[in-house]
Structure 1
Amino acid sequence: MASAHFQGRVALITGASSGIGRATALAYAARGAQVVLAARRESALRDVAREVEARGGRALAVRCDVTREDDVARLLHETRAAFGGLDVLVNNAGLGLYGPVEGFSEAQLRRVFEVNFFALVRVTQAALPLLRARAPGAQIINVSSVLGHRGLPLLGGYGASKAAVNLLTESLRAELAAEGIRVLLVSPGLTETEFRDARLHAEGWRQDTIPLRAMSAEAVAQALVHASRRGHRQTVLTLPGRLMVLANRLAPGLFDAVARRIANPAKAP
């Protein structure tokens, strides 16, 4: 293993079957953590668990739909049974939505909020008793997006769900500070994962290639684990992402025009 900074600690990662979640699990395991892998795709989860174990780590794969209360309760029960506690919760599971506000359905928007926001709340609430038992020093890491800091055309539904995560993170950070539980926010920019393939689309809408360089899932995971190690309260990833947040703060009107070009809207034929 690469290092032992998290030796003996237990990290639970949702959405761990692929992309950022998978890479994050491997990154924590490489630093000595025992990892709990949660996602709906059981076979893919077991593949990730085998990767962790092949590198000398220990992993528990738990099939879990984070939108289901009974699944989440079982996830935390199995975590306690296997490892006795929990030190780090990484709320990573997410679902995208593409299309204009007038185009996506209420059902689509509710689904996105259920996965990105309400499930995050559900998992966090269920995990708090285990995290409190390991405080001070326990952590909650919420994976947001640069779109939670600045909306772009045709990505408003997804961005709104992440903006809700951002505000919740700030509130939760203040609420848990006295207990020694740190609450961190990591906001990736464009990342090379299956995320865009799996997201929901307003009827008739698809997105062309975005003219920005994507960050690898592995690079995002390394940055996340670095933030976890250092206790950084907020991390915004990719240079374009940081510039976008800064430009929106300094010149929001001007950035509106830039945002229309970044979104590169394309209606499917």
Structure 2
Amino acid sequence: MTQGAFAGRVVLITGASSGIGRAAARAYAAQGAHILLAARREEPLREAALEVEAFGVRALPVRCDITQPEDVERLMREAQAAFGGLDVLINNAGVGLFGPVEAISEEQLRQVFEVNFFALVRVTRAALPLLRQRPGGQIVNVSSVLGHRGLPLLGGYGAAKAAVNALTESLRAELAAERISVLLVSPGFTETEFRQTRLHAEGWRQSPPPLKQMSADEVAKAMVRASRRHHRDTVLTLPGRLMVLANRLAPSLFDRVARRMVTRMAKRPEP
């Protein structure tokens, strides 16, 4: 039997077909966890499941659109049937949005909130009965440094992640008596497909970030470490931590820094 900090435990990961979610599946599997992988794309989901099984644990890939209540209900039924409950829920699925507030459409903003916030709430509420069946349940919400400090041209995405941050704090207090811990992991710039799949305001595109990016595996390793230690808030990358600190100590100064940094990342629409 595979040994590790999560040996024999069951971990459900949304957005598990690529990026941070897929890397997290491997990282928890390396620690002995059985993995329930949920995502919309079937082929990469099956490939991710094969990567997980290489660690000698069970993997169950389930096609699931977390914006659809019936999909989420079916996901939980499959978790119950296959594993008899859950130990850890990783709310990782998300979509990005780039552009100034006046240029992003209401439809785009609603889509980002539907995936990043409302679907996270839906999955969490559906998973709670399963988490309660096991001692020491855990919920890990994947946020962003932008949930701690908004940046120009990223306001819509940052607003959705700030909502996740506030929800996490509320859930943490509500579930403490049941010994279900609720953690927040906030990556900075990360090398994934995320930039290719994000939404953009009409005519706007983001250039490559000016800062060094973490790999998805580095984020996953930090996530597992936080999960193992029950670390309530984890802000990743040195620039990310400095950004949060600078915003707390000198917000006006950081406003100017933020304008310069993000302007270099933007491809403006032609007049």
Q: Name 1:267's counterpart in structure 2.
A: 268
1:55 aligns with 2:55: yes
Task: Identify the residue that residue 65 of structure 1 maps to in structure 2.
Answer: 65
Q: Which residue in 1 is equivalent to 2:106? A: 106
Structure 1, gaps ≥5 residues long: none
Q: Secondary structure, in 3 states, of the residue corresponding to 2:17? A: coil
Q: What are the within-5 Å matches in structure 2 for residues 26-37 of structure 1?
A: 26-37=26-37
Question: How far is 1:2 from its partner?
Answer: 7.9
Contact 2:13 2:21 in 1 (8 A): yes
How far 1:266 moved relative to its partner?
A: 2.1
* Aligned-partner residue type, residue 267 of structure 2: A
- Deviation, 1:228, is 0.3
Could you tell me which residue of structure 1 aligns to residue 219 of structure 2? 220
- Whether 2:172 is the aligned partner of 1:148: answer no
Task: State the 1:268 CA deviation.
Answer: 4.2
**Which range is displaced more, 47-56 or 24-33?**
47-56
| Residue 234 (structure 1) aligns with | 233
Structure 2: runs of 5 or more not aligned: none
**Shift in Å at residue 54 of structure 1?**
2.1
1:197 maps to 196
What SS class does the counterpart of residue 71 from structure 2 fall into? helix
**Deviations along 1:161-202, whole A, 9 cap, x unmatched?**
000000000000000000000000000000000001000000
TM-score by length of 1: 0.98
Q: Which residue of 2 aligns with 1:184?
A: 183
> Is residue 243 of structure 1 aligned with residue 242 of structure 2?
yes
- In the TM superposition, residue 55 of structure 1 has moved relative to its aligned partner by 2.6
Are the aligned partners of 2:2 and 2:55 in contact in 1 as well (CA < 8 Å)?
no
State the distance in 2 between where 1:132 and 1:162 align: 26
Query: Contact 2:96 / 2:157 at 8 angstroms: preserved in 1?
Result: yes
Are the equivalent residues in 1 in contact too, given 2:94–2:116 (CA < 8 A)? yes
Distance 1:207 1:229 in 2: 35
Deviation of residue 13 (structure 1)? 0.2
3-state DSSP of counterpart to 1:61: strand
Is residue 2–residue 57 contact of structure 2 (8 Å, CA) maintained in 1?
A: no
Misfit runs of 4+, over 2 Å: none
Cα RMSD (Å):
1.0
Larger deviation, residues 47-56 vs 25-34: 47-56
CA–CA distance in structure 2, aligned partners of residues 78 and 261 of structure 1: 48
1:57, distance to aligned residue in structure 2 (A): 1.9
User: Is the Cα–Cα contact under 8 Å of residues 17 and 37 in structure 2 kept in the other structure?
Assistant: yes
Partner deviation per Cα, 1:118-142 (whole Å, 9 max, x = no partner): 000000000000011113x110000
Q: Per the alignment, do residues 268 and 3 of structure 1 end up closer, same or farther by CA in structure 2, a change over 3 Å counting? A: farther
Letter aligned with residue 258 of structure 2: A
Work out the CA distance in 2 between the residues paired with 1:68 and 1:55: 31
What's the offset of the Cα at 1:3?
4.4
- The residue type equivalent to 1:13 in the other structure is I
Q: Which amino acid aligns with 1:64?
A: C
Matched, 1:12 2:6: no
Q: Distance in 2 between matches of 1:2 and 1:151?
A: 42
Say how many residue pairs are matched. Answer: 268
Q: State the 1:43 CA deviation.
A: 0.8
